[in-house]
A = this chain, B = another copy of it.
Amino acid sequence: MSDTSPPRRRRSATIKDVARQVGVSAMTVSRVINNKGRFSDATRLAVNEAIEQLGFARNTAARSLALARSVRIGVLYDRPSGAYLSELLIGLIEEANRTGHQIVLQRCDSTGDVAVAISRLLRAGVDGVLIPPPFGDEPDVLARFHAADRPVVTISGRPGHGAVRIDDYAAAQEITRLLIDKGHRRIAFIAGDESQAAARDRQRGYEDACHAAGIGLGPIEAGDFSYRSGIEATERLLTAPFPTALFASNDDMAAAAVTVAHRKGLDVPTELAVVGFDDTRIAITTWPELTTIRQPLADMARAATEILLRAIDQQGQSDEDLILPYTLVERHSA
């Protein structure tokens, strides 16, 4: 164990080293680093040069301790299956890391006991918790944290209390309209895990866009956001009368749809147009690359952390419902 070995490691440059080199006080360096308070341009330049030279990087442990801000942020997550959750989770971690907050990860498989996971988090002394899918839509989970007086911010969860998301409904409408504008009249749909608000919103968006255009709904099959469910759903969907387009509620399922189409000898997009949702990695490792909706995952992670911190400071649950802009990314699958 390293715990018993002598701490001989290279001491990295501290704020004092920088100060000494420049010939100012540590305070001034701190001001420059944090761009806070007043200091001359010359000072700023000199400090920055010394920082570069010494390879100084701020010690976040010291920082968060000094800020008396050792906030402990819990994250209750499912074992990541799809690309979306993995990416979001990593974004969350990077953000907490950047801000120097302590983060306590707690996994709870859908099959596991959520109550146990929650009390673990509580006993770890978390000041608040961040909830990515799929738990963001379980009133029970939220209620438990509230009972313990811990604010919660969900990501892509049910709106109405601290929540960060995109407008899934509008995005789904927009991508459906894209298909309609390209002349499609029979558009199949693969739904996502219906226990999640975002999945239901996407389906509503699809349906309303079809209605608004005066075309009937295409065949609809249930999915659960997994590639596998996408394979199965597409197989049921690709039967006469054939749809000319298919909208899958996420990229994993859209990629699966492309696979099935190819296997049945259908060209994508000429014989079957396919669109997905999320713009995760699979969107560009599939051929053709997927037309999809991009969610600003990094921004969402950042925003959720900020809202949570604010709620913790104010000792109350936030009711902010932050909706970030999505982007329709047109590639070659539709």
Which residues in A have some Cβ–Cβ distance to B below 8 Å?
1-2, 5-10, 12-13, 55-57, 59-62, 64-65, 67-72, 79-81, 83, 86-87, 89-90, 93-94, 97, 100, 102-105, 107, 123-125, 127, 226-228, 231, 235, 255, 259, 263, 281-282, 285-286, 306, 309-310, 312-315
Contact = CB atoms under 8 A, between A and B. Distances in A.
A282 B109 CA distance: 12
How many copies of this kind of chain does the complex include?
Answer: 2
Contacts of A282: 81, 228
Contact of A281 (B68, B81, B89, B104): B81
Find the residue from A1, A60, A69, A314 having the highest chain B CB count within 10 A: A60
B125 A285 contact: no
B61 A65 contact: yes
Given A8-B313, A93-B93, A227-B227, A102 B285 contact: no
A8 B228 contact: no
A61 B59 CA distance: 10
Given A80-B83, A81-B281, A105-B97, A8 B314 contact: yes
A85 to B, nearest CB: 8
A318 to B, nearest CB: 11
Contact of A12 (B6, B86, B125): B125
A261 B60 CA distance: 52
12 contacts: A9-B71, A55-B125, A57-B125, A62-B70, A65-B65, A79-B281, A81-B281, A93-B93, A94-B105, A228-B282, A228-B285, A231-B259
